[in-house]
Amino acid sequence: MNLKNYKSLINLLLLAGLAYILHKIVFYVLNINDEAFHYSLETLYLLFLGLSTIVFIVLLKVKERSFDNVGMSFLLSTSVKMVFCYLILRPLLQVSAQNSAIERKNFFGMFILFLAIETILTIRILNEKQ
């Protein structure tokens, strides 16, 4: 197992861990109780981390076979991930409670965070050819 090939996955794990710690600190400082959330922070981080890991495993396999298709594979896998996340978000969209608004913003913020991490790491993969 060549560790250099999986550098993106290691970076993803480190960034997700750092984001989780910062997220918990922000919730603690702002006194936001996440126990009433439909999905806990840990569940959402594991979900997004799992989906992002799958995306990067696919990208690394595509990189080995055909480097020119990495960008298109990223777009396709991100689109599939977006549909999956919408299906998970649907129960939150149907509830109209005050706590639900915070949870929805939290979900979208985490989605954008992991999308940004995936995009930056994919750009690094694409720049390896140069």
Please identify every stretch of the chain with a pLDDT value under 70, giving residue numbers as ranges: 1-3, 5, 97-99, 129-130
Structural domain of residue 13, as residue ranges? Answer: 3-127
Q: How many domains does the chain have?
A: 1
pLDDT at residue number 102: 83
Q: What is the pTM of this model?
A: 0.87
pLDDT at residue number 117: 92
Q: CA 41, CA 95: separation in Å to the nearest integer?
A: 18
pLDDT at residue number 98: 65
> Cβ contacts of residue 92 below 8 Å, gap of 6+?
38, 39, 100, 103, 104, 107
The model's pLDDT over 93-130, given as tens digits with 9 standing for 90+, comes to: 787 766 677 888 889 999 999 999 999 988 988 887 65
